[in-house]
Chain A
Amino acid sequence: MVKMLHSKEVSFIWDILNEIPDPEIPVISLVELGVVRGVEWIDTQLQITITPTYSGCPAMRMMEMDIEQSLRKEGITDFKIVMQYHPAWTTDWMSEVTKSKLKTYGIAPPQAHTKQRIGALISDAPTEVACPQCNSVNTKLISEFGSTACKSLMKCNDCLETFDYFKCI
């Protein structure tokens, strides 16, 4: 009987959240991005735990609104969205499937593990980032700060296209 308090199973909620696209990279969902950290029923209230990608990412508010809207559409009105800072969001949480979706979309996915990338205080141009258009690794970094907080701007020396590279953090 206790179970009947909630009309929706936790796994069902995860499925709903997995259908919400990232506002800036619509080919991946908020779950794939790693923003959603937890889904839990506390008595009759649904608690969704999220973590920010970047501290000042302007899309965070949008993500919260999208989550709210999707839940309401399913008839869930008693919920709380909690912001969690620990553990800090990392691109290491992205699966290979997610990375390949980014690549198909034209964004070079984050390379390697952050442990190998964070910490260099002078020059740290990522090496061998493949161009998402032509796959050439003859690419160069133009700026570590790109069109959104999470991306760097790179250029392919072969096909001459500029492209976004998802930063490793």
Chain B
Amino acid sequence: MNNQTSLFQYILKIADNQLILGHRLSEQCSKGPFLEEDIACSNIALDLIGAANSLYIYAAAIEGANKTEDDLVYLRSERAFRNVLLVEQPNTDFAYIMCRQFLFDTYDYFFQQALQNSNDQTLAAIAAKTLKESTYHLRHAGNWIIRLGDGTTESNMRLKNAFNNLWCYVEELFEQDAAELDLVAQGIAVDAQSIKSQFYSHIAEIMQTAGLEIPSGIFMQSGGKKGVHTEHLGFLLAEMQSVHRSFPGVKW
């Protein structure tokens, strides 16, 4: 893989995470537990999709194949998406949605913090911008983990189930292939191992405050970064891409 292809793939990995989670969260619009929370989730979804948009514009320029950000979003199929499995998991109850947010937001916060020091100026600038928004996201999700975990028997039980079901997707966040490690060596990509301990210690701190224990003995899943996804991504893309695929080049 040459450097340009590696960089392109790396940007896609970051952008796809933001887009797919943003889309998942946008599915909740009008279904929030109460009005303010509904607005919060929609706001966060917008931030995520907005960050993805900036990254796709850059990815399209790096690829140099005369494509636009819309081509990358609407005309790639499942195997070409590089997001982690965590972000594509479908919405169930509110505890599950907040748990998924919390795991991703914690990773994203430390990831963007590190990426703003990248040697790649565009990635660094987008990361500095994204970090401001990620801070709000993480605070929001963390507060909900504490509130639900330390809430009623029902909310605690639901949140515990959510952590048990989602924990198997955590390790994939820190997986890096040879091409990405090459970018790490050049000071472009973030060394995932360098943010791992910050990730786990923040998770542990919040979970402890919430009266929860970190799940143990869970077999870790992976594949998303290589384009091997759970069955849920296909359905998400089918809906997200349907208008563009039915009416190619449509504008509104």
Contacts and interface: CB of A to CB of B under 8 A. Distances in A.
Interface of A: 52, 54-58, 85-89, 118-124, 142-147, 149, 153, 167, 169
A87 B51 CA distance: 15
Given A86-B125, A146-B39, A149-B43, A56 B138 contact: no
A144 B16 CA distance: 26
Contact of A55 (B51, B121, B135): B51
Contacts of A142: 36
Contact of B47 (A87, A119, A149, A153): A149
B139 A122 contact: yes
A69 B19 CA distance: 31
A87 B46 CA distance: 21
B122 to A, nearest CB: 7
Given A145-B40, A146-B39, A118 B46 contact: no
A37 to B, nearest CB: 13
A86 B39 contact: no
B188 interface: no
B190 interface: no
B142 interface: yes
B142 to A, nearest CB: 6
Contacts of B109: 121
Interface string B157-186: 000000000000000000000000000000
Interface in B16-69: 22, 36-37, 39-40, 43-51, 53-54
A55 B129 CA distance: 8
A54 B133 contact: yes
B39 A147 contact: yes
Given A56-B49, A143-B40, A144-B139, 8 more contacts: A52-B129, A55-B47, A55-B54, A143-B36, A145-B40, A153-B39, A167-B136, A169-B136
Given A118-B135, A123-B143, A169-B132, A57 B50 contact: yes
A121 B50 contact: no
A146 B136 CA distance: 12
B46 A144 contact: no
Contacts, number: 89
A119 B47 CA distance: 18
Nearest to A118: B135
Contacts of A144: 40, 136, 139-140
A145 B142 contact: no
The list of the 8 closest CB pairs from A to B, nearest first, reads: A56-B50, A55-B50, A56-B46, A86-B125, A145-B40, A85-B125, A143-B36, A88-B129
A118 B47 contact: no
17 contacts: A55-B50, A55-B133, A56-B46, A56-B49, A56-B51, A56-B53, A85-B122, A85-B125, A87-B128, A88-B132, A118-B135, A121-B138, A145-B39, A153-B36, A153-B39, A169-B132, A169-B133
A146 B35 CA distance: 10
Contact of A145 (B36, B48, B146): B36
A54 B139 CA distance: 17
Nearest to B39: A145
Contacts of A123: 139, 143
Contacts of B222: none
A121 B43 contact: no
B249 to A, nearest CB: 18
B83 interface: no
A40 B193 CA distance: 44
B76 interface: no
Contact of B50 (A52, A122, A147, A169): A52
A148 B224 CA distance: 33
Nearest to B51: A55
Quick one: which of B43, B48, B109, B124 has the most chain A CB within 10 A?
B43
